């Protein structure tokens, strides 16, 4: 992977690119993550696809540009980054928050999208309970208690059966949270609170799309995922029977196979 900084409009973006492959897939990380979460997963894709990974503004080492980073702003950064790389057509894979960014690309970048994969993500906006929880997280960060998130959040991302086996990954995710700038976390939380539902927009598009869900996802219960599937009969679906919210780490081979097939149009 070749790492570089590119200008997405006026925003410097940290990006890594495998630079080889007829079809391209862009991997968008989730909240409290960075491109580093994809490091091992890339190895399962790069022989079949050109792989691009991005630090979304507010996370990793990409810049924080405002008090709120909307999903539309992040989507524009992704689209302009791909333009700067000279890649016109590509598939997007969004993990959790990255899925919200992928969906926001439907506004202005739909003509560039060959497929969308929502990996442990949803098409709906936050309900009041989720918005309130995100506001509490903002207050926690402002109070200097980000270490509380670092201690609790990573464990909740994994199916109980995987916590011991993947303890090194959990420790790495905790470290990622600790090194993410407070202002970046707050900006992202504000953007997620503001985001809108996009299920109807996705269903109305002609873009092939795949939903990947974990049976033990703490954040997206089975009944919520099943309702999303029922509303979108055009979607392809992969259930990960031994995963929580971090399926690309918990069951990477199954995720990779499905993503490659979707990106190649098989």
| Confidence at residue 152, expressed as pLDDT on a 0 to 100 scale | 85
Contact 155, 171 (CB under 8 A): no
| Confidence at residue 51, expressed as pLDDT on a 0 to 100 scale | 98
Q: State the 10-residue block means of pLDDT for the chain, 266 residues long.
A: 91 95 97 95 97 95 91 97 97 98 97 98 95 94 90 91 95 92 94 96 96 96 96 96 98 98 91
Phi first, then psi: what are they for 46, rounded to 5°?
A: -70, -15
Question: How far is residue 141's CA from residue 147's CA, in Å, rounded to a whole number?
Answer: 9
Domain spanning 2-264: CATH superfamily:
Alpha/Beta hydrolase fold, catalytic domain (3.40.50.1820)
Domain boundaries, the chain: 2-264
Report yes or no on whether pTM surpasses 0.85.
yes
């Amino acid at each position: 992977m070749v790492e570089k900084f590119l200008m997405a409009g006026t925003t410097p973006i940290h990006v890594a690119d495998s630079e080889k492959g007829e079809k391209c897939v862009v991997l968008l990380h989730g909240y409290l993550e960075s491109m580093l979460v994809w490091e091992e997963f890339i190895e399962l894709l790069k022989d079949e696809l050109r792989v691009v990974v991005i630090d979304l503004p507010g996370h990793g080492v990409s810049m924080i540009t405002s008090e709120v980073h909307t999903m539309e702003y992040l989507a524009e950064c992704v689209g302009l980054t791909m333009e700067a790389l000279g890649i016109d057509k590509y598939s997007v894979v969004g993990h959790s928050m990255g899925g919200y960014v992928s969906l926001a690309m439907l506004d202005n970048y739909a003509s560039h999208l060959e497929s969308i994969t929502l990996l442990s993500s949803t098409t709906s906006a936050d309900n009041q309970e989720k918005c309130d929880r995100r506001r509490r997280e903002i207050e926690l960060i402002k109070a200097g208690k980000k270490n509380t998130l670092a201690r609790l959040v990573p464990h909740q991302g994994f199916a109980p059966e995987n916590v011991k086996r993947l303890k090194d990954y959990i420790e790495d995710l905790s470290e990622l949270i600790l090194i993410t700038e407070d202002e970046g976390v707050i900006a992202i939380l504000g953007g997620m609170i503001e985001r809108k539902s996009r299920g109807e927009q996705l269903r109305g598009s002609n873009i092939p799309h795949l939903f990947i869900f974990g049976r033990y996802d703490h954040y997206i219960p089975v009944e919520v995922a099943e309702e999303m599937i029922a509303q979108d009969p055009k979607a392809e679906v992969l259930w990960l029977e031994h995963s929580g919210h971090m399926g690309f780490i918990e069951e990477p081979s199954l995720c990779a196979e499905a993503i490659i097939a979707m990106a190649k149009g098989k």
